Structure 1
Amino acid sequence: MRALLAMVASAALAACATTGESLATDTGMDAIADDYVLLQLTIGEKESGYIDAYYGPDVVRNRAVSDAAGQSLPQLSARALALRDRAAGLLRTSGGERSLEQRRARFLVAQLTAAITRLQMLQGAKLSFQDEAQGLFGVRPETPALSSFDPVIAEVDRLVPGSGPLWQRVDAFKKQFDIPADRLKPVMDAAIAECRSRTLARIAMPAGERFELALVTDKPWSGYNYYQGDYHSKIEVNTDLPVRLDRAIDLGCHEGYPGHHVYNVLLERDLVKGRGWREYAVYPLYSPQSLIAEGSANYGIDLAFPGDDAVAFNTRVLAPLAGLPTADVARFVALNQMTEKLTSARYTVASRLLAGDITEAEAADLLQKYQLESPERAAQSIRFIKTYRSYIINYGLGQDMVRAHVEAAGANQEAKWRRMEQILSEPTLPEDLLAH
């Protein structure tokens, strides 16, 4: 794994006051979990999109609505600080260092650290890109000099020779793999079905797990999984820009199997229902949980389609189904794999844009040069960056960390899948991925 980060331990801070009435009657871990869920839902009433998923009791959601109406952001910050202090106290008395109870307590402390950071941001705190990522997601990313990516750009230039700007050549080559709009639904259905088949051959899923697929527009992202609870997801694919052939497998794995859908299903089955850990019924987007979710979803693509499997499936099934040529599929996939080496250049561009060091126009130019994006796709990237800010690190850095942890199990595919399942079904934090 590239040396891209320094892990930051989540330490408890003493709280000067407490606000809000506890839902629970005892002072143990379950009481903290109940208060945690209420707090997160209350913050979610203050910021649209803060809660990615919730499938707990409606009475708690209703209580959050009333709490939010009567409490200010500073009061919520005080609640979060006090709750983190309580969780940290149990962290010192909750069993062995690697016990599930200890990991449960560590998870709550880390998630509350993120909530405190997000509340500071909502109150106007200006954090650097790296400090924001550290506070929200528990990692400190590097922002490499853009010139360090010039050798990769030179490699791509050799793969896609010709005249004109490199991004134009790359975009022109890739356009031949744009899936026609009237073929997108059957292609996505076929891709998701294959992702599901490969995953279920390795990971047992509960009976009745299911998803719905919807094609949508006017979104800052390319795909999204809205987990509904009861082992049910709604997967949306954005069609503002043409969806390219490689994205069918990518989205099928990332949003579905073994990605977000499987992650949420296993957490619900094993932790929420299996252990009664209700804190996992709420998923705040701006938290270390997102690095695990996005990193495992991205690595899951390679795990489900190792080696040349993606080339073979695209050539044999998806390209014909889409009515696309098959002669250059291998070259197309190879190009996409090469441009993945440019992923962390996006962090540098984002950090400079969010700090106000460059304009949106300058950021678009840099994304065209160092992400090889068309003006339209660069504009969509900027919209995502402005919306989700340092969240972008979870895809590349998270993938690197999950890959390193899983592949430390060795070359055996069964062993890799077992490690992946552990990540998805246990109280996993970014720092746990460093323990190989």
Structure 2
Amino acid sequence: MIENFSAKLVLFIFLNLILSFACADKKEPIKKSDLEIKMDKIAEEYVKLALNIGKYDKDFIDAYYGPPDWKPADDTIVFNNSVYELLNAKADSLLDEMESLGVYNATESEKLRYRYLYKQLLACKTKIFMLNGVTLSFEEEAEALYDCEVPELNEEFFMNTITELEKLLPGKGNITERLQKFKERFRIPEEKLNAVFEAAINECRERTLRNIQLPPNESFTVEYVKNKPWGAYNWYKGNFYSVIQVNTDLPIYIDRAIDLAAHEGYPGHHVYNSLLEWNLYRKNEWVEFSVYVLFSPQSLIAEGTANYGIDVAFPGNERIKFEKEVLFPLAGLSTREAELYYKVLALLKNLSYAGNEAARNFIDGKWSEQQTVEWLIKYNLRSKESAIKFLDFIKQYRTYVINYNVGQDIIKNYIERNGGTENNPKKRWELFKLLLSTPQTPGGLK
């Protein structure tokens, strides 16, 4: 049976109101050990619930390195009403247990843990609805899964940036064609891709190690793959080890070397997952951090820090300087038009939200596949091949696309609002490390 999601949104708002009071200080202190025991029990059940949901959506569990016997049996049961009722009842039971913890005193760390676990459970409940056939709007899904609101931008916003690009890249043909032709001058030859990427990784790691202590023996390997809907992916395996896959279906330009090395590796996903495992799962024994639920608020934090981490590692002009002095020569590229290239890239960042609008209208059923591709070509300035690939991503991951830009903006605003500005790199790294090592939710950072 498909439930009325409007009623569930009311429940969602109500539960979030409870959340704001649940860990408030009380007059009569109760032993912290009691709270720890109850939270640990709920956390274990959350992990098992998430793993069970993952049986019915292959993308739901991004990583798991907890007790092997917690994994459910690999049977062939299809998602049906009985499965729905069982999973939904479990989610409700755990949320009820979370609400009952409002009688406890809690430290700041425990409050963060509570909020994190609560929002992750709400995402699990939402996913259960969706598996049962509930159709959510773009806005509903983004809020329920990722704990955030997505600003809606019109064509005028994007046209202002496109007008500036027209001035930088004059010539024949439309701006999308001229941009693609211009970018081809900065394409990394496939035979040089590995050398360029390794140099970028080494630099990103060195800069990260100056500011963050990493777990012993952490490492990752890089694989080059094809026929994927994404550009790159970090598959975290536990024990501080990742496999990073880079998709070579589409051209990879010189700026993507640092983007991918930092985003997927240092100080991005590899560091984030390693620090969570090291600090929260192993040291604190918080078992909820043995699983990474992809469609959850954790992903907005993960993608946001991974994107913002590029600026943290390379403040000001340091990235441009390194790329021109090291990566351009390794790729066999001329630096003659490098300054123009970086000006173009800076403007293109303003168009990232055009991808959100494409997802919004496609998910809400307002645009066909063709209309979505045409929008991406016109306002995201993608090639047709790239636009089709991005649509494939939307089809598979839906509102997940917001985590990259909305997530980055939330992380950026939080860090800079608290003193982590470009002229205070020490504070910026300090706050960045805090976000990588503690339970955080998007709503808690606003």
Q: Say yes or no: TM over 0.5.
A: yes
Q: Which residue of 2 aligns with 1:258?
A: 267
Q: Distance in 2 between matches of 1:194 and 1:45?
A: 39
1:11 pairs with one of 3, 8, 16: 16
Q: Distance in 2 between matches of 1:331 and 1:78?
A: 57
Q: Which residue of 1 aligns with 2:430?
A: 418
Q: Distance in 1 between matches of 2:99 and 2:37?
A: 13
Q: Which residue of 2 aligns with 1:427?
A: 439
Q: Which residue of 1 aligns with 2:89?
A: 78
Q: Which residue of 1 aligns with 2:207?
A: 198
Shift of 1:343: 1.6
Shift of 1:328: 1.5
Shift of 1:143: 2.0
Q: Which residue of 2 aligns with 1:321?
A: 330
Residue 28 of structure 1: SS of its match in structure 2? Answer: helix
Q: Which residue of 1 aligns with 2:146?
A: 137
Shift of 1:94: 4.7
Shift of 1:398: 0.5
The correspondence of residues 14-25 of structure 1 with structure 2, limited to 5 A, is none
2:37 equivalent to 1:37: no
1:363 pairs with one of 343, 361, 372: 372
Q: Let me know the Cα RMSD of the aligned residues.
A: 2.0
Q: Distance in 1 between matches of 2:263 and 2:434?
A: 17
Shift of 1:309: 1.4
Cα distance change of structure 1 residues 232 and 8 upon mapping to structure 2, 3 Å threshold: farther
Query: What whole-Å deviation, never above 9, does each CA across 1:141-196 have from its counterpart, x for those lacking one?
Result: 12211222211111111111112110001110001111111111111111111111
Q: Distance in 2 between matches of 1:68 and 1:427?
A: 34
How many residue pairs get aligned? The number is: 414
The correspondence of residues 35-184 of structure 1 with structure 2, limited to 5 A, is 35-61=45-71, 63=72, 65=74, 72-96=83-107, 99-184=108-193
Query: What whole-Å deviation, never above 9, does each CA across 1:357-390 have from its counterpart, x for those lacking one?
Result: 1111111111111111110111111111111111
Residue 230 of structure 2: SS of its match in structure 1? Answer: coil
Shift of 1:69: 7.8
Residue 268 of structure 1: SS of its match in structure 2? Answer: helix
Letter paired with 2:203: E
2:294 equivalent to 1:285: yes
Shift of 1:406: 1.2
Query: What whole-Å deviation, never above 9, does each CA across 1:214-256 have from its counterpart, x for those lacking one?
Result: 0011100001000011010111100001111100000000000
2:310 equivalent to 1:301: yes
Q: Which residue of 2 aligns with 1:311?
A: 320
Cα distance change of structure 1 residues 109 and 91 upon mapping to structure 2, 3 Å threshold: farther
Cα distance change of structure 1 residues 91 and 270 upon mapping to structure 2, 3 Å threshold: farther
Cα distance change of structure 1 residues 80 and 66 upon mapping to structure 2, 3 Å threshold: farther
Residue 234 of structure 1: SS of its match in structure 2? Answer: strand
Q: Which residue of 2 aligns with 1:17?
A: none
Unaligned runs of 5+ in 2: 1-11, 19-35
Residue 16 of structure 2: SS of its match in structure 1? Answer: coil
TM-score, L = length of structure 2: 0.89
Cα distance change of structure 1 residues 395 and 92 upon mapping to structure 2, 3 Å threshold: farther
Residue 406 of structure 2: SS of its match in structure 1? Answer: helix
Cα distance change of structure 1 residues 193 and 378 upon mapping to structure 2, 3 Å threshold: same
Unaligned runs of 5+ in 1: 1-6, 14-25
Shift of 1:349: 1.5
Cα distance change of structure 1 residues 67 and 280 upon mapping to structure 2, 3 Å threshold: farther
Q: Distance in 2 between matches of 1:79 and 1:56?
A: 20
Q: Distance in 1 between matches of 2:280 and 2:218?
A: 16
Residue 246 of structure 2: SS of its match in structure 1? Answer: strand
Shift of 1:268: 0.6
The correspondence of residues 192-271 of structure 1 with structure 2, limited to 5 A, is 192-271=201-280
Letter paired with 1:80: A
Residue 117 of structure 1: SS of its match in structure 2? Answer: helix
TM-score, L = length of structure 1: 0.91
Q: Distance in 1 between matches of 2:47 and 2:17?
A: 18
Cα distance change of structure 1 residues 323 and 46 upon mapping to structure 2, 3 Å threshold: same
Q: Distance in 2 between matches of 1:415 and 1:421?
A: 10
Shift of 1:27: 6.5
Letter paired with 2:52: T
Cα distance change of structure 1 residues 67 and 379 upon mapping to structure 2, 3 Å threshold: closer
Residue 11 of structure 1: SS of its match in structure 2? Answer: helix
1:143, 1:345 within 8 Å by CA — same for their partners in 2? no
Shift of 1:345: 1.9
Q: Distance in 1 between matches of 2:13 and 2:338?
A: 42
Residue identity over aligned pairs, in percent, reads: 41
Q: Distance in 1 between matches of 2:102 and 2:306?
A: 29
Letter paired with 1:83: L
Q: Distance in 1 between matches of 2:198 and 2:84?
A: 43
Cα distance change of structure 1 residues 263 and 68 upon mapping to structure 2, 3 Å threshold: farther
Q: Distance in 1 between matches of 2:139 and 2:257?
A: 32
Shift of 1:270: 0.5
Letter paired with 2:92: L
Q: Distance in 1 between matches of 2:102 and 2:177?
A: 54
Shift of 1:88: 2.5
Cα distance change of structure 1 residues 404 and 128 upon mapping to structure 2, 3 Å threshold: same
Which shows bigger deviation, 299-308 or 140-149?
Answer: 140-149
